[in-house]
């Protein structure tokens, strides 16, 4: 919030921390303007991130290392890597 990050990406090696991150983002008063987006959301809506950002919302996208692995950028990740990430959090 202090750095006015509009687009935050969280990358974790463990998928089981997704709900903890989601709860943190959705429950804290300082993150009221942020929407939490998962890899499943990206899969089902190829413009979920740009749509939210253009509607004045801020986005926190949660991704796992397993989901990101490979030699090419997956179609669902185009909306993540096709824009500037204001803050990258690596949750080990």
pLDDT of 2 above 90:
no
Q: Are 8 and 92 in contact (CB under 8 A)?
A: no
pLDDT of 12 above 90:
yes
Q: Are 9 and 81 in contact (CB under 8 A)?
A: no
E-strand stretches of 1-92: 7-12, 34-37, 58-64, 87-91
Q: For 41-83, what is each residue's pLDDT tens digit?
A: 999 999 999 999 999 999 999 999 999 998 999 999 999 999 9
Q: Coil, helix or strand for 72?
A: coil
């Amino acid at each position: 919030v202090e750095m006015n990050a509009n687009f935050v990406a969280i990358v974790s090696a463990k998928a089981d921390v997704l709900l903890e991150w989601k709860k943190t983002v959705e429950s804290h008063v300082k993150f009221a303007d942020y929407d939490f987006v998962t890899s499943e959301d990206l899969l089902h809506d190829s413009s979920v991130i740009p749509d939210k950002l253009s509607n004045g919302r801020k986005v926190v996208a949660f991704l796992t290392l397993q989901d990101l692995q490979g030699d090419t950028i997956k179609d669902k990740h185009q909306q993540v890597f096709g824009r500037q990430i204001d803050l990258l959090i690596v949750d080990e």
